[in-house]
Amino acid sequence: MQGAANIVHKDTRKLKKTPNLLDYEKTYKTFNWQEAESEIDYFKDKTLNAAYNIVDRHAKGKGKNKIALFFEGQNGEKEKHSFLNLQKLTNKFANVLAFFNVKKGDRVFIFLPTIPERYIAFLGILKVGAVAGTLFPAFQEVALLDRLLDSGAKIVITNSVLYPRIKKIWSKLPNLEKVIIVERGSVIYPKDKRIFYFNQEMKKASPDFKIAHMKKDDFAYMLYTSGTTGKPKGVIHAHHDILQAVWTTKFALDVQGDDIYWCTADSGWVTGVVYGILGIWGLGGTSVIFEGRFSPASWYKVIQDYKVTIWYTSPTAIRMLMGSDVAVKEFDLSSLRFLGSVGEPLNPEAVWWSLEYFGLPFHDNWWMTELGGICIANFASLDIKPGSMGKPMPGIKAAIIDGDGKELPIGKEGSLALKPETVSSLMKTIWKNKEKYNSYFSYNWYISGDRAYQDKDGYFWFVGRADDVINTMGERIGPFEVESVLVEYPEVVEAGVIGKPDELRGEIIKAFVVLKAGVEATEELKEKLKDYVKKHLAGHAYPREIEFIDKLPKTRSGKIMRRVLKAKELGLSTGDTSTLEDY
């Protein structure tokens, strides 16, 4: 592999392993999802269950003693589980849920750190045919209430550290019947008949379970994601979506038999679910789960200790590694053979840096919560043009279109769209919001909301979001959610929130705040507002910058014009402001 001019050239004969996808062009032409079905298993009655594909089929076969999960806890404690063991544990948890009368279609949510119980619970939920929801551990009461109320979650699985946040809002959640507390770490035992304990229930449960037979489009998991307006939306994925998870893990992440794989994404987000659970175990692969905090040294140590071969991470993490003085050379990272990145634009410097320091380039890929799996990728066998997201996954038709749904010529910037019938893991609906679901489609395209262009060699290049959605550290944040929390603060009249470009985090959240008359605009108040958002919405979704202003730019109908705030912030032209009220 060598970097010449601005292309990373690949010589597939010199790679440590021959890539699963060796001939991209040929495969792209011949791939079809019907034939690809051979990669997943159905029951005799033609139904399936994603959890059976993830665990049981491997636990039955030769690979039953293969390690599925290596766990390292925050205090360095280690644990490992074979597929056979994972089968028993997930069956037990499915029995626990069945005993609690959880039925097909019920929503069960997981609010836990990165510990084995999070994965066991997720798969147990799938096995009973319920819908698994995951929650990011940084969520606070507003974010939790939005999701648990909208989904009507029946049970939440959490731990003693996070439970107090649920307790605060439980009275507002009429459907939440029970909380199951995982005893790992310190445990408190609140006196509440509706609270149960993970290990205590698991002890009573049988390791045998008759897995629910599900239709292809029956719901398996849901994740809330943010748009420009309104509360977060519940994106619903089905059992059959495992097909694309498996194929992309094979083709876009190049996972093979004895690879040791580490996807660093938290399973509160879609990457952590699809590539931390569905894809890797769907393929029968070995995955590392690390609870410890991020630091360059702790991450390099994980790679060294577990001899990680495939590493899937995010641009912000890569930039933090680049900016650190912890030397890559101090660790033996020679096990690595393929690096992937997702979530936000990967700047070309990051690719050159990894080539220099790891001897391997990062492979950027692109998708969205709604899409359920990688759609555009830089593949192991293809040259990389640093800064580009790569080419469509075999089976997927992607294009750049104009406002009338017409495909634009090479080089022209437009709306990045996909043919929905070619994305096998596309969401099935938006929970209780058909209208929102329908709004994604026009002229027979799925509209991503991203602006991009395609070059003459077929590579896609990301330009930016077409809407006001903020992408900070690879996480999608709706400006409305942050604004709503800010205006709850007694001294605040209104707030407008934008994403401001940031070298490290991609974007940071910046809030423009209008204070009540007579309130003094102090630095101290800014800190208080930041804390307020951290404590009420989520630890990661607070405005790192706050500016007090007298008035927000609004349309005549009263909508905040965030693009005007953004243009002002960046010193750009404010564009068409004819709909703007006097400002």
Q: Applying CB under 6 A, which part among 88-96, 167-175, 279-287, 470-478 lies near ligand WT7? A: 470-478
Q: Applying CB under 6 A, which part among 167-175, 326-334, 360-368, 575-583 lies near ligand WT7? A: 360-368
Query: DSSP character for 232?
Result: -
- What own/partner pairs with CB < 8 Å and gap ≥ 24 does 189-195 have? 190/163
Query: DSSP character for 170?
Result: G
Residue type, 371: L
Q: Does 448 bind ligand WT7 (CB under 6 A)?
A: yes
Q: Does 388 bind ligand WT7 (CB under 6 A)?
A: no
Tokens standing for residue 308? 């990680």
Choice from 56, 141, 259, 364 touching ligand WT7 (CB under 6 A): 364
Query: DSSP character for 154?
Result: S
Q: Does 465 bind ligand WT7 (CB under 6 A)?
A: yes
Q: Does 345 bind ligand WT7 (CB under 6 A)?
A: yes
Minimum distance from residue 428 beta carbon to ligand WT7 (Å): 16
Minimum distance from residue 375 beta carbon to ligand WT7 (Å): 9
Minimum distance from residue 504 beta carbon to ligand WT7 (Å): 16
Q: Does 247 bind ligand WT7 (CB under 6 A)?
A: no
Q: Does 468 bind ligand WT7 (CB under 6 A)?
A: no
Q: Does 85 bind ligand WT7 (CB under 6 A)?
A: no
Choice from 89, 102, 350, 389 touching ligand WT7 (CB under 6 A): 389
Q: Does 367 bind ligand WT7 (CB under 6 A)?
A: yes
CA 127 to chain CA centroid, nearest Å: 22
Distance CA 490, CA 479 (A): 19
133, 223 contact by CB (below 8 A): yes
Distance CA 189, CA 180 (A): 11
Q: Which residue is nearest to ligand WT7 (CB)?
A: 369
Distance CA 421, CA 444 (A): 9
Residue type, 153: A
Total residues contacting ligand WT7 by CB under 6 A comes to: 22
Residue 374 exposed, middle or buried by CB count within 10 Å (0-12, 13-18, 19+): buried
Coil, helix or strand at residue 514: strand
Q: Does 384 bind ligand WT7 (CB under 6 A)?
A: no
247, 39 contact by CB (below 8 A): yes
Minimum distance from residue 418 beta carbon to ligand WT7 (Å): 11
Minimum distance from residue 120 beta carbon to ligand WT7 (Å): 24
Q: Does 209 bind ligand WT7 (CB under 6 A)?
A: no
Q: Applying CB under 6 A, which part among 77-85, 109-117, 172-180, 469-477 lies near ligand WT7? A: 469-477
CA distances for 137 relative to 13, 74, 133, 269, angstroms = 43, 14, 13, 10
> Angle 141-151/479-488 helices, nearest 10 degrees?
120
Q: Applying CB under 6 A, which part among 44-52, 81-89, 159-167, 365-373 lies near ligand WT7? A: 365-373
Q: Which residues pair with 195 in a beta bridge?
A: 179
Q: Does 471 bind ligand WT7 (CB under 6 A)?
A: yes
Q: Which residues bind ligand WT7 (CB under 6 A)?
A: 225, 270-271, 342-345, 364-369, 389, 448-450, 462, 465, 471, 474, 476
